[in-house]
Chains A and B, each alone.
Chain A
């Protein structure tokens, strides 16, 4: 039994090494003055300088962040409305129908989402670019927010709302004073997931981005197709650090959010 456990640990270590090796491989060579992803010559910050002195790339980074923040905010609002509507629909069949429609975009392959949105935007006469990318990011983030918020709503005891109504609260007050505070952790989780989905998306964006507009993933793809350039490595190192910061930030916020809610409850 004990020997089994050590074998298990060795297996896990191997899996973890393989999982992280490419990421650290990228980071390691981002400091290589040689310009290739083999044979490390000298330590250099050259590629980082190149990233920061490339105005086109900086504009793309800003585009990506603006799209991510805007789409996450709007899809969180829509997703909360969606979760509330699914929660309020009483008939079982209607509820299941809504949930099925909700999950279509989650299980659909990116290529199909991208292709169908491309047709949609072309027919609707929306110019491919910022607006089309933003709309599609909102569209595929909504169902994730719904799935994050819905369990929180179902956790909530309906007597809470009944009590609020009995005490004379109107619909709006019940929503802002009772429901929203209770589901705040779910909303945060949904927002965060929407943010990461938007930052991470390549395939859908690739279809609807058009010519003038680009996000980081699309830019990385077009650069990587031309071969290896260590400024991509530098960029990916920065992105990885940013991701870790986001995750830490998310944990701090969710911890704090929990505490704030706790205090509110006591008051």
Chain B
């Protein structure tokens, strides 16, 4: 049972990560490969608060709240520092530049002795629990889904569809790109803080480029641009390795090979993923059965 709740906790954290990456990659169309870097920033700053600064008299959930806030803000700050210079680049160049920054963040953490450096960061208080992780999941989804429905969201989507056209329609594309990037980075930091207080141990090698790719695989599997898709993708890819473990040691060892083949096959057969750009909406799903052709968004 504890094993199952641990899995659920992890999948909650990965839902936040994939939804936030989807805001950058799928919805804004800016291809970032450095998400693990922001995750690491949030995780380490959140954990550092928990280890060095947190006052004991506050209840755990208040401390967790502050820690998540710190994780969000520092990761968002890192997002500003990285996004403002990098977002002038496009397409594959942006991908490589963000990859580079993600690795630089990891190397810097590796060289910081106050947070353990190569030995790893230990003794982080256990504050995360299922309730608070899923509360944050709900908040993340609500915030991002609501931004998408407003003016800002339409502007962000228009950048994905055609950046030059959006620019000539008077949309300040740089501002909206930065906004999406910083928000995405911030939520990744929040997920990092939750992760730190759930696992109680952090190591720089837990935030390698490979994790950026796994989060990317989640959103591609679910469908770039679909929030429901990212949720489904995150849940599938946190539970799949565990299923593989039940099928025997050999299959579990080949997990990353299976992921790689999955990634290639998805790109070749169904590049839109499970949901494409569509959202799953309970009301419109029900409307299909009752035969009412009402447009509900």
Decide if A and B are genuine partners: no
Using CB atoms and an 8 Å cutoff, list the residues of chain B in contact with chain A: none
